[in-house]
Structure 1
């Protein structure tokens, strides 16, 4: 059973890597394996196949898995971060980036949480709500430059590294994705406002990561295609 599970994950991971190589995108793109609700053993199978960047949506899962798994894993926090959990997240030594800074207050909270816990600035992405959906977090595209400028000016313990979006589900993959186009436009606006700054773009998931790469993504977050369908763990009574 375990060997079959290992084989399935390695095969899926290989298929994703091959699809990325064949995407004909002009830029290098990082693969982040998203392991929400999956056991640490599944991540270890992917790790043994050479995967090093992993994404987690929930703070407790990130805490638990980072304690169990190899220390050279580069963790991406990609979920909604509550202010009272900021210090817990930034205290993880091999945290690579927090991708979900969605307002100035969150940036200030993370900046303060880093004090005394991290020797180097923490990489952050500003999350942009490119589809203007009420249920999604993220700054409005019109406010993106303002939030990025604030991080540069007022958050010395943070390193502004990129922009991130969760596009609207159900977009036609054969057509230009307006969410990806919007985030690329935000990148251009920020880079014009902050001369010398080059930003990464985190966009694209299992359904559309190849399309996202062709639109300029430098960081794709792929979960289900690697690890299979997710089942929320049953709460213990």
Structure 2
């Protein structure tokens, strides 16, 4: 592991204060068991280390090369989440990260199979956790499997991808949806989770909610929230 220059005292305090406030908000939602993923894209390794020193272990990155670089510099007990658009030609690079904990953006059976094969070829002893990303809003420019196809893809992952463990479903949702209460994208994902869980027998998590709406997501059943600016400040 390469040496990482520590953040300044003021910057460390800023990050740790932001982290404490988000954790307190999670507690207020009576979701002490929910997983907080600190989204650290574009942030230097020193910022991540400051949050790590305050006990944070789950971090999310959007870009494969940035994740590879940071994983090589930072403690090996960090549990990395890849939360960017998954490209088939990047599966091998992702699979080479030994402490990759989950890929949250699997959106097809083909990509799941490619990722599972790469993970197996890398020789890991444990399965890789994945979330099936669902396009709950139906927006053409949004990643994710259409909601109507989610159950079939989930079944394919469970039945045909032994290198993977389907942890749950993920959505980003629409801007319009984020302004509504209840958020229709979160409601739709929770409904799908229940339907797929009954069909597959799997206990599935819900990854939904970001800095602006994670508390509402927790109220609607989120078990995994992805929070960046509220921890690290604006990009």
TM over 0.5: yes
Pick the aligned partner of 1:202 from 176, 199, 207. Answer: 207
* Cα distance in 2 between the residues matched to 1:185 and 1:28: 21
Name 2:105's counterpart in structure 1: 100
Name 1:33's counterpart in structure 2: 38
Listed as ranges, the gaps of 5+ residues in structure 2 are 1-6
- Work out whether 1:76 is the aligned partner of 2:81: yes
Name 1:12's counterpart in structure 2: 18
1:209/1:222 contact within 8 Å kept: yes
Q: Find runs of 4+ consecutive structure 1 residues off by over 6 angstroms.
A: none
- Displacement after TM superposition at 1:24 (Å): 3.2
Alignment of 1:35-50 (within 5 A): 35-50=40-55
- How many residue pairs align between the two structures? 228
Pick the aligned partner of 1:109 from 97, 114, 123. Answer: 114
Q: Secondary structure at the match of 2:76?
A: coil
- Work out whether 1:151 is the aligned partner of 2:151: no
Name 1:21's counterpart in structure 2: 27
* Cα distance in 2 between the residues matched to 1:155 and 1:36: 29
- Displacement after TM superposition at 1:137 (Å): 0.6
TM-score (ref. length: structure 1): 0.93
* Cα distance in 2 between the residues matched to 1:189 and 1:148: 11
- Displacement after TM superposition at 1:23 (Å): 1.3
Q: CA RMSD in A?
A: 1.3
- Residue by residue over 1:85-111, the C-alpha shift from the partner in whole angstroms, topping out at 9 and shown as x without a partner, is 101101111100000000111111111
Q: Decide whether aligned partners of structure 1 residues 8 and 119 sit closer, same or farther in structure 2, where only a CA change above 3 A counts.
A: same
* Cα distance in 1 between the residues matched to 2:132 and 2:215: 22
Name 2:231's counterpart in structure 1: 226
Name 1:131's counterpart in structure 2: 137
* Cα distance in 1 between the residues matched to 2:227 and 2:155: 29
1:127/1:163 contact within 8 Å kept: yes
2:168/2:204 contact within 8 Å kept: yes
Q: Which range moved further: 77-86 or 109-118?
A: 109-118
Q: Secondary structure at the match of 2:98?
A: coil
- Work out whether 1:63 is the aligned partner of 2:68: yes
- Displacement after TM superposition at 1:173 (Å): 5.1
* Cα distance in 2 between the residues matched to 1:169 and 1:71: 35
1:173/1:211 contact within 8 Å kept: no
Pick the aligned partner of 2:220 from 215, 221, 226. Answer: 215
* Cα distance in 2 between the residues matched to 1:99 and 1:174: 24
- Residue by residue over 1:5-31, the C-alpha shift from the partner in whole angstroms, topping out at 9 and shown as x without a partner, is 111101111110111111134x72100
* Cα distance in 1 between the residues matched to 2:177 and 2:112: 30
- Displacement after TM superposition at 1:172 (Å): 5.3
